[in-house]
Structure 1
């Protein structure tokens, strides 16, 4: 979230508290877009028969999600959170497949 919902000041990525003291839930959108791009890359590797590279990227997706979960303010129910949950499930299923 680049701007504070209270005062409108710019808030650097990764921060959940503005200099005015307002706390807010971090946006999952950037994380989702990064993970989605990684998933698309892994799917492409899998379709092209490069299973070792696909497996490596799927595992990196799961590792990144585990790391991000520690930093998130868990906005359960947000669209991006739900989308990230789907990417996680799809990556796990893909690893079982290959």
Structure 2
């Protein structure tokens, strides 16, 4: 995974990186609301979010993203495995996220 991860620091234009991202993650233990989640989704990137604060309000599970319990990596793993088995779902969910 490390070879496929890039920590870019601050970006003024997020369109370029989001054009190559399949899924965004907002995995927080405490969150009131997430602009990062909404921005990613507006760029057509479905989101995996934790069930904390206002994060679940951003996502319609199975339509434009996924909601997982906090501190449960097995739930995230299950989603990633499902994506590998059915990669077309990400494109469809991305279209829904954009809308």
Q: Normalised by the size of structure 1, how large is the TM-score? A: 0.28
Query: Would you tell me which structure has more helix in proportion to its own residues?
Result: 1
Query: Would you tell me which structure has more strand in proportion to its own residues?
Result: 2
Larger radius of gyration: 1
Q: Normalised by the size of structure 2, how large is the TM-score? A: 0.28
